Structure 1
C-alpha cells in the first residue's frame, strides 16, 4: 500500500512539473503565479493613494495661498488702520488750525469794524463844522453876533467880520433868516447894490437870486439906500444908508 501512495505522489509531482512552461523557470528559482484580482486591487490602492497625495498637495497649496491672502489682508488692514489714525490726527490738527483761524478772523473783523467806525467818525468830523469860541453853530455853519450894544456902519461891520476870517452873513433860506433875526431887532447882512444901482449882490460876489426876503415895498432906495439890514418885527430885509450904525452878524 505504501508503494501505491508513493507512485501516486510521484505522478502528482511529475504532472505539476510538466504543467509549468519552461519559460516559468528561472535560474534564480521558481516564481509563483499572481492572481489578476490582486493586481487590480493594488492598482486601485495605488490610484487612491496617488489621489490622496494630489489632494494633499492641492490642500497644502490652497492653505498656503489662504495664509498669504490672510497675511496680505491683515497687512492691508493694518496699513488702512494706520492711515485712518493719521487722518484722525490730521483732522484734529486741522480743527485746531481752523479754531485759530476763526479766532484770528474774529479779531480782524473786530479791528476792521473799529477802523470803519474811526473812518466814519473822521469823515463826519471833516464835514462837521467846528466853530471858534464865541461863535454859534447853526445848520453846520458858524455865526458871530456882534457884542451887545456894539454898532457900526456896513463897511466897518464887514471889516470886523473879515478880521475874524469871515464875512457878513449871507441869507439864502427861511430857516437862516429866522435864526439871524433872533439876536437883534436890526442887523447888517452882506447884501448891497453899491457897485450898480438895483443890482443886489452878496459879499462873496454872487448875485441875489429870486425875490429874496424883502419887506413889503422894499427896496425903495429912499435917500441913497445901498446896504441891506434885517429888521423886525417880521425879520425881513430893508435897504438903508450904509453909513447908519447898527449891530451886525458874521458868517464863517
Structure 2
C-alpha cells in the first residue's frame, strides 16, 4: 500500500515538473524577439545609406562655407587697396584740373570741346614754336577732326600746327607720332617747295588764313621760317 502511494506521488511530481518546464519554455520563447526578416534588413540598409548621404552633404556644406568665407575674407582684404586706388585717381584728376585751370586762366587760351588752345603773339620757327608749347605743358595742335579744323579756321591765323614729314619725306606725322589720316590741304599742296627754289624741303605745315574753304587751309613750308603757332593742351598732354 505504501509502495503504491509513493509511486502515485512520484508520477504526480513528474507531471507537475513537466508542466513547469513547458511553461518556462513558452515564457522563454515569447520573451525573445524573432530575428529580422528580409524587409527588416532592407529598412536597416536604407537608414544606413541615408545617414551616409547626410554625412556627405554635411562635408560638402562645410567645404562650401569655407570657400565662401575665404572669398569674403579676400575681398575684405582687397577693399583698402581699392579705396587707396580711388583716392590716388581722384587726386590725379584734381591735379590735372588744377593744372589746366592754372595754365589756361591766362590770356591767350581758348577752350574748344575738352581741350585748350594757345595762340602766340610772336613768330618763331617750327621747332622753336613746338618747344614753347612743350614748356607750357602742351604741344603744337593736332587736327584730327573736321570740327577742330573749322574751329582753327575761325581763328583766322597763319600759324604752325603739329604736322611734319621731316623724318621721312612724304610720310606726314603729327607731333604725337600718329600718321596723317584726315587731310585739309590747299589745292596743289603739299608740294615740298617745288614752286620756290629758294626754300626747298618744306617739311612743316602751317594754317593759311584768308581761305574761302575751311577744309582747305594747310600748306607745307620750310621749317626754318617764322610763324605764330597754336598750342593744344588736353589731359593726355599732362605729365
TM-score by length of structure 1 reads: 0.46
Which structure has more relative contact order (CA 8 Å, sep 6+)? It is 2
Larger radius of gyration: 1
TM-score by length of structure 2 reads: 0.49
